[in-house]
Amino acid sequence: MKIVVTGAGGLIGHHAAVRLHAANCAARFRGDAPPYRTVALDRAGFQDDATLREAVTDADAVLHFAGVNRGPDDAVEAGNPAIARRLAETCRNAGSTPHVVYANSIHAGTATPYGRSKAAAVEIIAGIGAMTDLRLPHIFGEGARPFYNNVTATLIAKLLAGETPDLDPDGRVQLLHAGAAAEIAIDAVISAAPRRIEPEGRSMTVPDLWEWLHRFHRLYTANTYPDLSDPFDRDLFNSYRAATYPDGWPRPLARNTDARGMLFEAVKGGGGGQTFLSTTAPGVTRGDHFHLGKIERFLVLEGEADIRMRPALGTEVHTYRVTGAAPAAVDMPTLWTHSIENVGTDPLLTLFWTHDLFDPTAPDTYADKVLVT
């Protein structure tokens, strides 16, 4: 199935592209053919006539996340219909009638420039062919841009900077994780049933959201995980954690030493989870996979290793040298593929912790080499 993702440089578009990539990685690991041929278009790709036409030609579906949500009123009101017309005209010229899942808003149709522009875009997109009108609440997630129409990302940035924001005591949000929105969009393509979908978000005040994030921050800076049994907490915590990479790691652990030896706390909190140990021979690499939701800690106890990370759809690799002589935790960010290599001359002893028990029927582990040659 050929799926085009517009707005792939944005929050939901990126999460959708990573999830399609994850499905292909899982298929390759099983020895099956990848189910998706994904064409991810950022702003430059969407604006290039030849690139856009090639993308929509023979496309089975378009996950249409490209849009305008901020700027002068006249630019916002004109922007979304213009983007929709460009997509519709290109599909018509290419003789293509894909199923379009349109990332709409709960504000569509309201008496605002943004509301009117989203409603107008729906009418245009409906002329392409089958359409799913996906009306979304406030979206949060890993990779969201702070200070750019995303209150959660902005509050996280303020928190990590040690700043206290001015909060509207009456402000409310309905929060939905970008990954959940992306999965709903992909499922709509698979079901091939045009309809309107209005997923509910978690409703809270903006001051409550600030306190929620502040609690995460207090615990995590004290090397303690919050209770992660609620998927919403896990997703919000992962969004907070994402902003600490790559510069906030590794995190040295406090060591207590006396004549008997050394003691340190490896993992605290999290509501449970699973701990396991491995030995790795010199020159051997473990890992080379990524997760969509799972939280995982690497902690070298003996030996020397390089922990490497790369965004699942990116090219830049970050390397952390760690050693058992000075234990330092490295937590794996979601949507980043990661590995650990024994770069020493002795066996490597590593403690691994994940926030939930491994489920072989839903492992949330996608094989993808960090170092691509």
CA nearest to 371, candidates 288, 284, 291, 247: 288
CA nearest to 197, candidates 139, 136, 134: 134
Q: What pLDDT does residue 193 have?
A: 79
DSSP, res 144:
P
Are 212 and 173 contacting, i.e. CB atoms less than 8 angstroms apart?
no
Residue 230 lies in a domain: no
What pLDDT, in 10s, does the model give residues 164-201?
999 999 999 999 999 999 999 999 999 887 789 999 99
Among candidate residues 210, 243, 265, the one where a domain is terminated: 210
CATH of residue 106? 3.40.50.720
Mean pLDDT computed over 107-118: 92
Would the pLDDT of 373 be above 80?
Answer: no
Same domain, 127 and 23: yes
Same domain, 154 and 270: no
Q: What pLDDT does residue 70 have?
A: 86
Would the pLDDT of 246 be above 90?
Answer: yes
Of the pLDDT bands very low, low, confident and very high (cuts 50, 70, 90), residue 254 is very high
Element (H, E) at 366: strand 366-367
In which domain, by residue range, is 343 found?
Answer: 251-367
Same domain, 176 and 274: no
Q: What pLDDT does residue 327 have?
A: 94
Would the pLDDT of 238 be above 80?
Answer: yes
Same domain, 53 and 165: yes
Q: What pLDDT does residue 153 have?
A: 98
Of the pLDDT bands very low, low, confident and very high (cuts 50, 70, 90), residue 13 is very high
Residue 127 lies in a domain: yes
3-state secondary structure of 76: helix
Residue 287 lies in a domain: yes
Same domain, 185 and 72: yes
Same domain, 203 and 260: no
Same domain, 18 and 165: yes
Residues 6+ apart with CB under 8 A from 175: 137, 138, 139, 140, 152, 201, 202, 203, 204, 209, 232, 236
Residue 140 lies in a domain: yes
Same domain, 66 and 161: yes
Q: What pLDDT does residue 207 have?
A: 98
What pLDDT, in 10s, does the model give residues 318-352?
999 999 999 999 999 999 999 999 999 999 999 99
Q: What pLDDT does residue 372 have?
A: 86
Same domain, 180 and 275: no
Number of domains in the chain: 2
CATH of residue 336? 2.60.120.10
Residue 221 lies in a domain: no
Among candidate residues 156, 178, 210, the one where a domain is terminated: 210
Mean pLDDT computed over 13-25: 98
Q: What pLDDT does residue 149 have?
A: 85
Q: What pLDDT does residue 74 have?
A: 94
Of the pLDDT bands very low, low, confident and very high (cuts 50, 70, 90), residue 94 is very high
Of the pLDDT bands very low, low, confident and very high (cuts 50, 70, 90), residue 124 is very high
What pLDDT, in 10s, does the model give residues 202-237?
999 999 999 999 999 999 999 999 999 999 999 999
CA 355 → CA 6, 220, 268, 294, distances in Å? 33, 14, 11, 7
Supply the pTM of this predicted model.
0.96
What pLDDT, in 10s, does the model give residues 34-81?
999 999 999 999 999 999 999 999 999 999 999 998 899 999 999 999
Same domain, 195 and 276: no
Cα separation of 63 and 39, whole Å?
10
Residue 80 lies in a domain: yes
Q: What pLDDT does residue 354 have?
A: 96
Looking up tokens 């002589």, which residue turns up? 325
Among candidate residues 185, 210, 235, the one where a domain is terminated: 210
Residue 233 lies in a domain: no
How many other C-beta atoms are found inside a 10 Å radius of the C-beta of residue 55? 24
Same domain, 45 and 172: yes
Mean pLDDT computed over 28-33: 97
What pLDDT, in 10s, does the model give residues 255-272?
999 999 989 999 999 888
Cis peptide before 250 (omega within 30 of 0): yes
Cα separation of 208 and 153, whole Å?
15
Residue 246 lies in a domain: no
What pLDDT, in 10s, does the model give residues 138-174?
999 999 999 988 999 999 999 999 999 999 999 999 9
Same domain, 194 and 271: no
Q: What pLDDT does residue 68 have?
A: 93
